[in-house]
Every structure is written in structure tokens, then in C-alpha cells.
Amino acid sequence: EFILLGLSDTRELQVLFFTFFFLAYAMVLLGNLLIIVTVRTDPKLSSPMYFLLCNLSFTDICCTSVTSPRMLVDLLSQRKAIAFEDCIAQLFFLHFVGASEMFLLTVMAYDRYTAICKPLHYTAIMSRQVCWVLVSACWVGGFLHSIVQTLLTIQLPFCGPNTIDNYFCDVPPVIRLACTDVYITEWLIVSNSGLISLVCFLVLVTSYTFILVTIRVRFTEGHWKALSTCASHVMVVTLFFVPCIFIYLHPFSTFPSYKHICVICTVFSPVMNPLIYTLRNNEVKASMWKLWKRCR
């Protein structure tokens, strides 16, 4: 088994963290479930953008559910032990869902690029069949990425220290506990996770650059609305990708602990998604209001 040190060993801070993260987890579940129900029940929200948004909400629920429940239990526990099998399972699902979300955010940026830069061909390019293929490819890509990370980790021998300076099991702190030289494994993992994060981020930046150039050339009221939508995407991308690039795109021994940075992409980013996509989108807010009046 491994021992998770968590975010703090001070009892008062643990209670404070529990309250904060419990409220954050509840917001993630309720906010994203509300988005899913709203999109699924309102025929007006049938465009590819809302289909992808619905999938992003589901991914956010899965991503935060991999780490948050365990963290909440450990904050109230004296001994934060996790079995080796449970640790590997958490590591696998974290990278599975996390990589899938990276690919999905990239697809959403491509959707906005197509809608703004090629509006006449948008319905043909982003048909429902194409959307399903793209979403399926995101999950397949996430699975392949995660299985590589997991196989590189479980083949290592663990016979020494078992203390992980984090609140969940991730590849960098786990492989540092291996009883062997992990230099090659470390660089293989960096080239996998780090490059995926960086490449997806560069693709996103490129697509938004093309969008900004297009809007500057032919600025209309419709393009202003599209720019507002893209601004919310940029906020999500910044919260999610920058911490991932910082964590995985360098040798893991450089920074012995990065658990406070992990809070950004495992807690804050899933919390911000429903707020950004609902408060900045009049169509979603109107549909939620209709759903509320129908349920009363």
C-alpha cells in the first residue's frame, strides 16, 4: 500500500479543506448534471457546440470523481492509506479521463473554428455523425494514452518508501518510489503526457488565432457572439492545460511536490466549466429557466 500525505497535516486546515472541496465537488456534480439535462431536453440546443458541451460536462464529472471522493475521505482520516491496486486504478482512470478531456477541448476549438471561419460549410463538416466519430476518437485516444502510462508504471519494482506527497495517485510521485533507475521510464512518460498536453495546447492556440484573424477581417454582431464563446473556451483551456504542461513537461525529480498545482486542474477547472458556459451563454440560461419553470 501507499500512504498519501494529502494537502496538509494540520487538523484545522484539513477541516477547512474538507468544507471547501466538498462544496466544490457538489458544484461540479450539480452544475454539470444541470448542463447535461438542459442540453438533452431542449431541442433548440441541438447544434454540435452543445453536443460537445454536454460531453465536456460528462467528462468533468468523471475527472473530478476520480480524485475528489477519495480526497474528502482522507481529509477526515488519520491514516491516509491506499492499496497498490487502488492506486494504479486511480492513476489509470485519471489519465484516461484527463487525456480524453484534452482531446475534447481540442475538438471544441475546431468546432468554433469551423463555425466562424467556414460558416457556409459548417453543417456539412460538423454533422452529427462526424461529432460522434470525433467524441469516440477522444475517448479512444484517452484510453491508449492511459494504458501506456499505466503499463510503464506497473512494470517498476516497489520495495522501499511508500509515502506519496500528494492527495491522489499520479505517475510522477509513484514512479519516484520505485526501487530502480527510472530515468528512461521518466522520459518516456514525459514524452507521452507532456507532449500530448503541449501539442493539444498549441493546436488550440492556433485555432483561436485563426478565429481572431477572421473576426478582425469581417466583424459582425454574429462574430461578436462567437468571440464571446471563444473567450470562455480560452479560460477553460488556460485553467486546464497550463498546470498539466507544467507538471508533465519536465523531469519529475525537478519538483518533488506539485500537489497545490494539481488542485487547479482537478478541482478549479471542473468547477469553472459550468459557470463559464452557463453565465456567458444566453441560450443555455434561457433553456435552464424554461426547464426550471417546467419542473416547478
The dihedrals phi and psi of 116, each to the nearest 5 degrees, come to -95, -40
The reported pLDDT for the residue numbered 228 is 64
Spell 105-126 as b/e; 16+ CB within 10 A means b.
bbbbbbbbbbbbbeeeebeeeb
pLDDT: which is higher, 289 or 102: 102
The reported pLDDT for the residue numbered 261 is 82
Question: pLDDT grade, residue 220 (50/70/90)?
Answer: low
Which range (72-81, 87-96, 271-280) has the least confidence? 271-280
The reported pLDDT for the residue numbered 204 is 87
Handedness of CA 27, 170, 255, 247 (dihedral sign): negative
The reported pLDDT for the residue numbered 181 is 82
Q: Summarize the confidence of residues 19-46 as an average pLDDT.
A: 88
Let me know how long the chain is.
Answer: 296
pLDDT: which is higher, 270 or 90: 90
Residue recorded with cell 512494470: 155
Q: Summarize the confidence of residues 213-218 as an average pLDDT.
A: 71
Q: Summarize the confidence of residues 190-217 as an average pLDDT.
A: 83
Enter the pTM of the model. 0.88
Domains of the chain: 2-295 (1.20.1070.10)
Q: Is the pLDDT of residue 121 over 90?
A: no
Q: Give the integer Cα–Cα distance in Å for 1 and 296.
A: 49
Q: Give the integer Cα–Cα distance in Å for 48 and 193.
A: 28
Q: Is the pLDDT of residue 99 over 80?
A: yes
Contact 215/223 with Cβ under 8 angstroms?
Answer: yes
Contact 273/57 with Cβ under 8 angstroms?
Answer: yes
Please give the share of the chain, as a percent, with pLDDT higher than 70: 91
- 274 is written with which cell numbers? 459550468
CB atoms within 10 A of CB 29: 17
Highest mean pLDDT among 50-54, 130-134, 274-278: 130-134
Q: Give the integer Cα–Cα distance in Å for 262 and 168.
A: 10
CA-based end-to-end distance of the chain: 49
The reported pLDDT for the residue numbered 257 is 66
Residue recorded with cell 507544467: 246
Q: Summarize the confidence of residues 204-224 as an average pLDDT.
A: 72
- 43 is written with which cell numbers? 431541442
Question: In sequence order, which ranges of 177-281 are alpha helices (DSSP H)?
Answer: 183-189, 195-217, 221-248, 259-263, 269-279
The reported pLDDT for the residue numbered 44 is 81
The reported pLDDT for the residue numbered 124 is 86
